[in-house]
A and B are shown apart, each in its own frame.
Chain A
Amino acid sequence: MTFIELGSGSPDLSYRQRASHVIALAFAVFALVIGYNLRNTGLFSTTRYENVEAGIRAEYPRNWLFDNQGDYVFRVRNMTRVGFKTTIQVELRPVGAAGSTRSILDAISLERFQSLAAYQVINVDASTPLADDIESVTMAYTYADTDRDPFLQSIPTVVRGVDILAVRGGQVVIITFLADATTFESDYAFFERFLSGLEFR
């Protein structure tokens, strides 16, 4: 019987060589950390927004298209995203004294049934925390987004959305995040950072 012994002999390294290996590894790790930080700085750099009238202060991703000309307090969209433009929106609606978050969610869903194709609620969760421990309710949903231009040939995109509702006084704040279903998970980090910087006054 023949035994073949496989092994690697470690040549003896000098102290200087070992030290240089450690330093090289340290630099590599340091460069990775710097690179990661630089990437995050570029990727997650933000622009400050403050609306005294609405009592909202936020930090939204830099170079997302800011829009406050609609029925919302403001909306930002990532226009460089190929396909559906990842969107974060903040909206205020009046709510009656007897109004509950459940009734507001139902009203929103009824509106969307009328206007969004294949709209469907995935779940409603009461666990999403907001700044200052404001109680909130989260609704996740999907719908099919189609380009409104009838002269173009666009295939509908499946969009995943999240609404976070919080009642403040006589108003309900609706914070919405929308993304292509295929990029929802990766883009959700933007939303989490947005929520962490969101302040109500």
Chain B
Amino acid sequence: MKSLTLIAVLLLFTYIVPVTAQQPALDIERIQRATVFVMQVRNVEDNLFITCVSSGTLVSRDGLILTNAHSTQQSADCPGTELIIALNVRSGESPIAQYRAEIAQIDPGLDLALLRITREPDGRLVNRENLALPFVELADSSATRIDETITIVGYPGIADDPVTAVQGTITGFALEPRSTNSASWIKTSAVISGTMSGGGAYNTQGQLVGIPTTAPLRQGILNTNCIPIQDTNRDGIVTASDDCIAIGGFINALRPSNLARPLVRAASLGLDVEVMSLPTTTSSGNTPTISRLFFSPSVNEAGMPTTVISNLPSGSTSLYLFFDYANMSPETVYELRVTTDGRPNATFSLAPVRWSGGSSGLWYIGSSGQPWPNGVYEFTLFANGVAAPTQRLTIGGPPQITATMSDIVFGLLNLRGEPLGNGFVLPSGNTASAQFLYRNMSNGTNWTAIWYLDGNEVSRTPDVWSEGETGSASTSIQDPNGLRPGSYRLELYVENGLAATSDFTLAGAQQGVRPQIFSNARFTTAATPAEAAQSGAISTFSDSIPQLYALFDWQQIAPGTLWTLRWLVDGDVFYEQVSPWTMPESGQNFTAILSSPNRLPDGTYNVQMLVNNLLLASIEAKVGIGQLPIDRFARADGVLLRGQILDSNTRQGIPGVAFILISEDFSVSDFDWNQSKVYALAVTDQNGFFELERPLEYSTDDREIAYSAVIAADGYQPISADGIEVTTETENPLELIIYLSRD
């Protein structure tokens, strides 16, 4: 091919000397293009009626969308059965419906869902491999800090509202159980409307740090309105008697992106875990209740309070509100309202959100590393709008000298009377002991240890203190016939006031000082679960397989005991389910099946079993080469290259012209018209506009990236260029005007 120097306009973005590597600036246009409008619709006699709306964010080029579960999953509030995705096609305009989608992964409790674009609006299948949609990358949300600036992007309404960006700061974090490495909620000062729920919050590098999340909007509550927009009853006019769409409300909480990572990982790999015996979470129908509220200044590794307090000294930075809950479900809406000296305190309150803790148990919501100003705080929890008794706490003044019990750990006693073991999961036996620390005690003080099993009191030991002022002490529960497996609780009272409390699980057989609950864990592959139970353990699968079975035996674990099943691939969690044990106390061949619509991707797979956050068993297997394939489209950042190709004589756009960007490893002279050497490809539309399907990677000192380009069209002189580089200083998106001359 005749190679000509690319015209000057094209050379404008060629930087010969790369600059030092630096973070790219927030690319708001790319983020807005990756923000979609999600419409849940109901099909009535081939007419589609919108039932719920929300925002969502593309997290992969092939059409995975991260959004909220409540507005996409069929429910009483959102009765639709189909999902329509509208894209922000042109900046400043309302979104345009482009695709249909299905739910690929969902966690109703976390209120997160991954949607997968599957069809065109007319029902034709979409070839996802051909999709090249703008998307964003997830940030490590645990790295966010208070006062960090964030930008929230979403659709604020259902009318002609285009995608909107709102700036704010991070004002705090809310911690809950089962998110030990990350906050459960990020609080923000930004004013976010309810329909932006499911959108995205971005750090200054343009990475997704959180998902604005609120409880489902309902007419008449949460400052919502309900707007009828379609003639759903077909009476010829749109009135209040038609079905309406709830909008409004306000959001002050973001689900951290780290909590969405397992869902994204599973959806992107097409992985699906089926557990043969896990119950589906359904509402019991009983009224959700919240009780036994108390405060603790810290939490141990098992998620238990270290002590119980009623006040905190000035300068405290950590506080947790514990409570018992029952009859809860993912559909339950819970809310925390905090007042300081009688005034609402938005920083420590949590706007209504869905419940993520399962049916019943002990829960907390707290914050750490965040200053608590002095004042009298009142905490009120709501479940489905019903308030639990308010709990009060005073912060301020010097540390008070009061009798304290703390840091309960459980175990089997050694010869010196010290508890051994992992502290919160004990093997079955005749005796369970608890060791705790005490301070400022006085001999002669009345104290009581009360033990519970599955919520029922089984032992009460009133006593008079005789151990001195400071030290450690222990108390035990015994049963000559053996303690029954189950969930135990110890409450320590000093003069009728709760001083310390903790839960532990008793399960499994004694193996040294540790319990053996899960045994004979193994991977295998088979055609059916029954066949898998008869198959031997396999740790290496040389060929890709459609299904992977994980099996294990178990012993002495009481029904109702909370346990965790976790799957990982190459060290990344893609499935984690905390649920009550539903099988008999002992048995064999508990089965979980990992499958994929195609074949399982190569990788190293792990299954872990945990109780009370303690890892009790783990198995590993390699599939194929034992490593996930490299996703060459994983990077979302870079410079979007787009522009217009014009006829140099007529100045009119030329439709159907190919713009070929050659990979960095090849020059124009190396290019032999092989797709493997093409980095990105675009074809002009009816007006001559084009945009490349992949962003150009930044050239840095460490890695110089120079692309080449070829533009050729029948009847025109071809043009080509080498050495095309972009840096973080390059304008983004990069707009080109290219003129072609006739032959």
> Which A residues fall within an 8 A CB radius of B?
63-70, 79-85, 114-117, 147-155
Chain A residue numbers with a CB within 8 Å of B21 are none
CB distance from B135 to the nearest CB of A (A): 13
> Which B residues fall within an 8 A CB radius of A?
1, 33, 87, 89-90, 96, 98, 120, 122, 124-127, 129-133, 654-658, 660, 673-676, 678, 682-687, 689-691, 693, 712-715, 718
Sample (22) of A-B pairs whose CB atoms are under 8 Å apart: A65-B673, A65-B675, A65-B678, A66-B674, A67-B675, A69-B676, A79-B673, A79-B712, A81-B714, A82-B656, A82-B714, A84-B656, A85-B658, A114-B124, A115-B125, A117-B120, A148-B131, A149-B682, A149-B693, A150-B89, A154-B655, A154-B685
Chain A residue numbers with a CB within 8 Å of B89 are 150-151
CB distance from A48 to the nearest CB of B (A): 12
Is B691 touching A82 in the complex (CB atoms < 8 A)?
no
Is A80 touching B132 in the complex (CB atoms < 8 A)?
no
CB distance from A83 to the nearest CB of B (A): 4
Is A152 touching B689 in the complex (CB atoms < 8 A)?
yes
CA separation between A67 and B676, bound complex, in Å?
Answer: 7
CA separation between A80 and B686, bound complex, in Å?
Answer: 16
Contacts between the two chains (Cβ within 8 Å), count: 84
CA separation between A79 and B660, bound complex, in Å?
Answer: 9
Grouping DSSP codes into helix (H, G, I), strand (E, B) and loop, the B interface class, with mixed when no group exceeds half, is loop
CB distance from A68 to the nearest CB of B (A): 8
Grouping DSSP codes into helix (H, G, I), strand (E, B) and loop, the A interface class, with mixed when no group exceeds half, is loop
CA separation between A114 and B118, bound complex, in Å?
Answer: 11
CA separation between A82 and B712, bound complex, in Å?
Answer: 9
CB distance from A145 to the nearest CB of B (A): 11
Chain A residue numbers with a CB within 8 Å of B98 are 150
CA separation between A66 and B132, bound complex, in Å?
Answer: 20
Is A148 touching B132 in the complex (CB atoms < 8 A)?
yes
Chain A residue numbers with a CB within 8 Å of B684 are 152
Chain B residue numbers with a CB within 8 Å of A155 are 686
CA separation between A151 and B90, bound complex, in Å?
Answer: 7
Chain A residue numbers with a CB within 8 Å of B691 are 149, 151-152
CA separation between A150 and B117, bound complex, in Å?
Answer: 13
Is A80 touching B658 in the complex (CB atoms < 8 A)?
yes
CA separation between A155 and B690, bound complex, in Å?
Answer: 14
Chain A residue numbers with a CB within 8 Å of B674 are 65-67
Chain B residue numbers with a CB within 8 Å of A67 are 674-676
Is B686 touching A64 in the complex (CB atoms < 8 A)?
no
Q: Select A152's contact among B124, B133, B690, beta carbons within 8 Å.
A: B690
Q: Select B675's contact among A66, A81, A148, A150, beta carbons within 8 Å.
A: A66
Chain A residue numbers with a CB within 8 Å of B124 are 114-117
Nearest CB to that of B684 among chain A residues? A152
Chain B residue numbers with a CB within 8 Å of A84 are 656
CA separation between A67 and B656, bound complex, in Å?
Answer: 19
CB distance from B106 to the nearest CB of A (A): 25
Chain A residue numbers with a CB within 8 Å of B120 are 117
Nearest CB to that of B127 among chain A residues? A115
Whether A82 contacts B654 in the complex (CB less than 8 A), given A114-B124, A115-B127, A151-B691, comes out as: yes
Chain B residue numbers with a CB within 8 Å of A79 are 658, 660, 673, 712
Chain B residue numbers with a CB within 8 Å of A83 are 655-656
Is A63 touching B673 in the complex (CB atoms < 8 A)?
yes
CB distance from B184 to the nearest CB of A (A): 35
Is A150 touching B714 in the complex (CB atoms < 8 A)?
no
Whether A153 contacts B712 in the complex (CB less than 8 A), given A79-B673, A116-B124, comes out as: no
Nearest CB to that of B642 among chain A residues? A151
Whether A149 contacts B712 in the complex (CB less than 8 A), given A66-B673, A79-B658, comes out as: no
CA separation between A80 and B673, bound complex, in Å?
Answer: 11
Nearest CB to that of B710 among chain A residues? A79
Chain A residue numbers with a CB within 8 Å of B683 are 85, 147
Whether A153 contacts B686 in the complex (CB less than 8 A), given A79-B673, A80-B713, A148-B130, comes out as: yes
Q: Select B712's contact among A80, A116, A117, beta carbons within 8 Å.
A: A80
CB distance from B100 to the nearest CB of A (A): 13
CB distance from A158 to the nearest CB of B (A): 13
Nearest CB to that of B122 among chain A residues? A117
CA separation between A85 and B684, bound complex, in Å?
Answer: 12
CB distance from A75 to the nearest CB of B (A): 8
Nearest CB to that of B90 among chain A residues? A151
CA separation between A64 and B712, bound complex, in Å?
Answer: 11
Chain A residue numbers with a CB within 8 Å of B655 are 82-83, 154
CB distance from A181 to the nearest CB of B (A): 14
